[in-house]
Structure 1
Amino acid sequence: MPAPKQTLTGILCLSAGIAVFSVQDLILKLISGDYPLHQAMLLRSVTAFPMLLLIVRWMDGSLTGLVSPTWPLMLMRGLLNFSAYTAYYLALAALPMATTVALYFTAPLLIVVMSVVFLRETVSPVRWLAVLAGFGGVLLMVRPGGTLFDWAAVLPVFCGAAYAGSMILARVMGTRDSAAAMAFWGNVAFLACAAVLALIWGRGTAAEGVHPSLAFLIRPWVWPAFADFALMSLCGVIAAVGLTLLTHAYRIAQSSVVAPFEFTFAFWGILWGWLFWGDLPDALGWLGIAVIIGAGIYVLRAEPAPDTSA
């Protein structure tokens, strides 16, 4: 079992990674009406490579860890992540940011379930209560079956399942491979998949009059304005740092412990949605947010205090 100090480090890395990635979500939401997703993903992946090489060199001391016998498994994990984020960003083009974030929050619940089934982790009643309470808060925010429902709401739920699988793999592979190496191979998968999508749809498919999520997928390649090019390139830096932080969190700490802190994404989704689009939850939505935050605080206080004598 990880030491309390490792657990706290994992929680802090996860929370920081979530905050970093929320900026990428904001950028892709802003450009989703003008550019195709594959263009943003391709530019992001190309920009991320030099940053990831620097991170690997800094964290691992050399680049030799990239040539690992487990690289196919790291690549497979990257494909899972690509599936997860593609589904999430397609949903982001059609749904309010807060709603998309809320639906994605099936991921922490699935991570805890998978940690029990595949990793044989012991989950205390406190952790189950925190995750279930957080999921209940999500249901309060979204109220599935009501007027808020859109078929695109299925996409972030799929994202949650794929993301959960990728983070369970990070825990399994953590004893052999570094977080930086896993993030590097994940970016290789992103680049390859984005290039395939660009080859399929980049030359131009009519995207007018279709659902916003589908339009974001099939819209033709557009030469970006400098400001938009800079934003898409910035996503590469964000992805390199964010993926490394998230992977490191699940690599060093128990999945069932850090998973409830995925719910901190709710804060960023609400903040960006309010600042840029004026989207605010209603009374039940705020109650759901309070439940989510309370669940995270509860599990943090219930964990053993870190050993600061080391």
Structure 2
Amino acid sequence: MARSQALTGILFAAGGTMIFSINDVAIKFLSGGYALHQVILIRAFVAMAFILTVIHLSERGWSQVGTSRPGTHLLRVAIIMVSNVTFFLGLAALPLADAVAVAFISPIVITLMSIVFLREKVGPRRWAAVVVGMVGVVVMLRPGAGVIQPAALLVLVSAVLYASGNLLARHMGGTESAMTLSFYVQAGFIVVSLCMGLWAGDGHMATDDPIWAFLFRPWIWPPLADWPVFLATGLSVGIGGLMVTQAYRTAEAGLIVPFEYVGMPLAIFWGVVIFGTFPDATAWVGIALICGSGLYVLWRETVVRQRTQDAA
């Protein structure tokens, strides 16, 4: 039963990540002409329509909307909201593969969190992997260009919050279904995006800065040609988000995270095919350091956990 559950979690993680990659492509495509909160609002409405349809057709029905942990949901929604905003602001100004590579610092972040908050002991090998991963982040920040890239820093913040949100999903998995978790996330997106639109949707805070322009651009009515892209981002986040959430609910984070790395080759593929961008030599170095160190950390966690189980 445990092996079947682990396999299900792996399949959900890999499949959900592949579907999520469509969301990243669509958001980057839309970032040149729309305000981020408008994109998130339309995306959330599409995703919510999908989630409500699944809830209506499922055996448990509308009981899945109920929860005894509203405060924890609110905290998770806030974490995921800020994680999304910071990632997409960075994504608007970075090549797709660069942004995704920096986001994959999450396993390193989880290791550091376990040291700080859980007081776990980390051996020299994992410390070495953490250091290598952070070096990879520094490479992606490109300080040699004369400045630290603010866009990459935003993605780094997003990675920290993404790791926190997934750990929280694992913590809530005993009482909350994937459908419940996804419902409240999309509801939070709708509320916050509407509020943001009422505040800044008229464009009075618009700027020419390549990063912040995406956040404060005025709302416009999308032309018919862009609606399929909005539909794609909404369905991808609805389906992909549900799958990844279910993966973290049912299996340990250390088992799931490696299979999210399928997003890296997909990001390179989409970057070349859709945007005509290919990672340069510096980016490849950063990608190799970050992904290599992250995968090594996860492998070491698996080895240590297996030894502990065998000793018991």
> Is the TM-score greater than 0.5?
yes
User: TM-score, structure 2 length as denominator?
Assistant: 0.83
Q: Percent identity?
A: 36
Residue 82 of structure 1: how far off its partner (Å): 0.9
Residue 20 of structure 1: how far off its partner (Å): 1.1
> Using a 3 Å threshold, how does the CA distance of structure 1 residues 55 and 119 change in structure 2: closer, same or farther?
farther
Q: Which runs of 5+ in 2 are unaligned?
A: 307-312
* Counterpart residue number, 2:85: 86
Q: Distance in 2 between matches of 1:123 and 1:54?
A: 45
> Using a 3 Å threshold, how does the CA distance of structure 1 residues 189 and 143 change in structure 2: closer, same or farther?
closer
* Counterpart residue number, 2:94: 95
* Counterpart residue number, 1:307: none
Q: Are 2:152 and 1:157 equivalent residues in the alignment? A: no
SS in 2 for 1:281: coil
Between 14-23 and 163-172, report the one with greater CA deviation.
Answer: 14-23
* Counterpart residue number, 1:192: 191
Q: Distance in 1 between matches of 2:234 and 2:121?
A: 36
* Counterpart residue number, 1:47: 46
* Counterpart residue number, 2:266: 268
Aligned partner of 1:230 among 228, 231, 236: 228
Q: CA RMSD in A?
A: 3.1
Q: Distance in 2 between matches of 1:264 and 1:244?
A: 17
SS in 2 for 1:280: coil
* Counterpart residue number, 1:203: 202
Residue 26 of structure 1: how far off its partner (Å): 0.7
Q: 1:66-98: per-residue Cα shift (whole Å, max 9, x none)?
A: 111113322321221111001111111112212
> Using a 3 Å threshold, how does the CA distance of structure 1 residues 135 and 12 change in structure 2: closer, same or farther?
farther
* Counterpart residue number, 2:74: 75
Q: Residue 270 of structure 1 aligns to which amino acid in structure 2?
A: I
Q: 1:204-257: per-residue Cα shift (whole Å, max 9, x none)?
A: 22635x211111111101111012123213322111111111111111111123
Aligned partner of 1:256 among 254, 257, 262: 254
Pairs within 5 Å for 1:99-110: 99-110=98-109
CA contact (8 A) 2:94 2:151 kept: yes
Q: Distance in 2 between matches of 1:223 and 1:129?
A: 51
Q: Distance in 2 between matches of 1:8 and 1:23?
A: 24
* Counterpart residue number, 2:15: 16
SS in 2 for 1:63: helix
Between 231-240 and 119-128, report the one with greater CA deviation.
Answer: 119-128
> Using a 3 Å threshold, how does the CA distance of structure 1 residues 57 and 139 change in structure 2: closer, same or farther?
farther
Q: Which runs of 5+ in 1 are unaligned?
A: 305-310
Q: Are 2:312 and 1:280 equivalent residues in the alignment? A: no
* Counterpart residue number, 2:310: none
Q: Distance in 2 between matches of 1:186 and 1:88?
A: 16
Q: Residue 216 of structure 1 aligns to which amino acid in structure 2?
A: F
* Counterpart residue number, 1:245: 243
User: TM-score, structure 1 length as denominator?
Assistant: 0.84
> Using a 3 Å threshold, how does the CA distance of structure 1 residues 99 and 120 change in structure 2: closer, same or farther?
same
Between 175-184 and 102-111, report the one with greater CA deviation.
Answer: 102-111
CA contact (8 A) 1:91 1:153 kept: yes
CA contact (8 A) 1:134 1:260 kept: no
Q: Distance in 1 between matches of 2:93 and 2:202?
A: 23
